[in-house]
Chains A and B, each alone.
Chain A
Amino acid sequence: SQQGEEDPQALSIQEGENATMNCSYKTSINNLQWYRQNSGRGLVHLILIRSNEREKHSGRLRVTLDTSKKSSSLLITASRAADTASYFCASGSNYQLIWGAGTKLIIKP
C-alpha cells in the first residue's frame, strides 16, 4: 500500500523557519491527506485536500495539490520545536489510501 514518494526524506531547520515537504503519487485520486507521527506514537490526521482543490490552509499549515503533476506539498510556517515529527502523505481514491514513505522533520531550537 506504500506507493507514494516523499521528499526530502529528512529535513532539519531552525525554529521559526518554514518547512516544505513534497509528495508524489501515481494513480488518480479524489483526495490527498497529510498525517503527522510523533516518535513512538500513532499517526494523526492534519489536513485533507480534494482533487478539485489547488490549495488549502489550516492554521500554520498550507497544502497545495497539482493533479497534472500528481504532486502535493505541505508547508509549515513559523516552525516550532513541537513540529518535530515525521510527516506522511496519503493519496486517496474510494476507501483506499496509498502512503508515502514520510519526511522526518527536525526543528532545532
Chain B
Amino acid sequence: DAGVIQSPRHEVTEMGQEVTLRCKPISGHDYLFWYRQTMMRGLELLIYFNNNVPIDDSGMPEDRFSAKMPNASFSTLKIQPSEPRDSAVYFCASSTWGRGYSGANVLTFGAGSRLTVL
C-alpha cells in the first residue's frame, strides 16, 4: 500500500484565492481525518469522516473552510477565500477502528500539504 497520499505537497497562493487540498486514504480505512499543524497552535483536528460521512466538523475554523468525501478513496479540504493566517501544514490521516488494535484508533498520516498564503 502506498499509504495516505496528499497533494499538493506545497502550495503558495495569494490572499483571496481558493485553495483545494486533496487526500487519498489507505484502502479499507473507514475513518479520515483532516488536521492542521502550526508552531503556535500545534496539531488541530479540523474535521473527520466515518464511512464518507462527516461526523465532527467543530474544528473547522470558519465558513471559509469546507471538506468533502465523495467516496471512500478521496477527500478534499477547500479554503475559499484564503487568508495569510491559514498558512500551515495540513495533514490527512486515515484509520480503521480496531483493526490490529482492538478498541483503539491508530492513525496513518500523509506527508502533509504545506500551504503559504501571501
Interface residues of B (CB under 8 A from A): 4, 31, 41-45, 48, 50, 59, 91, 93, 97, 101, 103-112
Contacts and interface: CB of A to CB of B under 8 A. Distances in A.
A99 B107 contact: no
Contact of B41 (A2, A42, A97): A2
Consensus secondary structure, chain A interface:
strand
B105 A97 contact: yes
Interface of A: 1-2, 30-31, 33, 35, 40-45, 48, 50, 88, 92, 94-97, 99, 101-102
A40 to B, nearest CB: 8
Given A1-B59, A42-B109, A43-B109, A99 B43 contact: yes
Contacts of B48: 95
Contacts of A95: 31, 48, 50, 97, 105
